[in-house]
Chain A
Amino acid sequence: MTDILIETLDLAKRFGAKVAVDRVNLQVQAGEIFGFLGPNGAGKTTTIKMIVGLLQPTSGAVRVAGHDVQTEPLAAKAASGFVPDEPNLYTKLSARELLRFVAELYDVEPGVVERRIEELLRLFDLTAAADDLIDSYSHGMRQKASLAAALVHDPRVLVLDEPTVGLDPKSARLIKDLLRQLAQRGAAVFLSTHILEIAERMCDRIGIINRGGLVAVGTMAELRAMGQGQASLEDIFLSLTGGAEDAAIAEVLQ
């Protein structure tokens, strides 16, 4: 029996008259890296925010680690870690203080907290700056601190919104390796990205959202089969979401 860790059931979100997410159904299993793609404004971040409990759906449901995010929020949240697209952190805390704060929010075993923090700081190359205020961190360092905060309680579900934006190649590689290892240890990784190469190489399955609706879900092979002979994910993505017209490009460059 497969262990489904993320499941959305007819998930929808409206902002007034605007439909941001329209009856999205998807599942992510334990040990799987799921890539979530879509053009700007397609509903990726809104979907992610509903999965992690930042937004309440207008209708439908989200289940994380078997718990409904709306009716059993504590259990669902305890099982998941989240990395937002913008690493907005408490700038007047140091990375060490931030990680300790998050560990206590997630009620991590007191005896484990300090060791876990040291491991994460070392892993993300933040040890030297661990006691500096986040105020003085670069975007990349904040992104890494944000990732460390998401991992401090060893979540079974990790949701990442554009995790590699602003990271140097070494850090981006580190994150890719880390996500792969987390999946191998049985975690479910839900990852949104605009970098199709990352999605193609890393993700076990990919979902493409356009104008709030899920237009395709499957493995690369399944997507290729749907793409009528198109080999690359870029071609499949553009054919499903509508790419830029040649004439429009020529007009801009003229």
Chain B
Amino acid sequence: MIRAMPFGSTGNNSEAATVFGQLLPLIEKALLSNYRLPPREASEVEQRLYDWFQRFCRRPGSREPEALRSELLLMACRAGHVYSVSRLEDLLSTDERLKRSLTLGPEIIAIEIEKVLEKPHTGDSGKDES
């Protein structure tokens, strides 16, 4: 599902919004599939990521938004990771994909997702689509 952009925005960096919009399908997929967030929670995290990314791009030392895609994906995976860890006991026993995502850690999952971005026709970022 690709949500219409822009989000309810607090920032005003259109370049950052464009980059976020390009990555949103992957972020959403990661949150829903890799980290098993319920859709409503995933939407909230996406909104927060959007606001964060707007500010992140304006920090001293930040490059142009296009060059910060990896940081955005990594933060999305960290957010998913933290959320899922907090629900670990409920979910881990039944969900192999989640178990894999949490075992590998957000850094590895973000890299897997980024590889999908580089090869847009090769399919999913995880091993077992469910």
Q: Decide whether A and B are members of one complex.
A: no
Q: What is A's interface to B at a CB cutoff of 8 Å?
A: none
Q: What is B's interface to A at a CB cutoff of 8 Å?
A: none
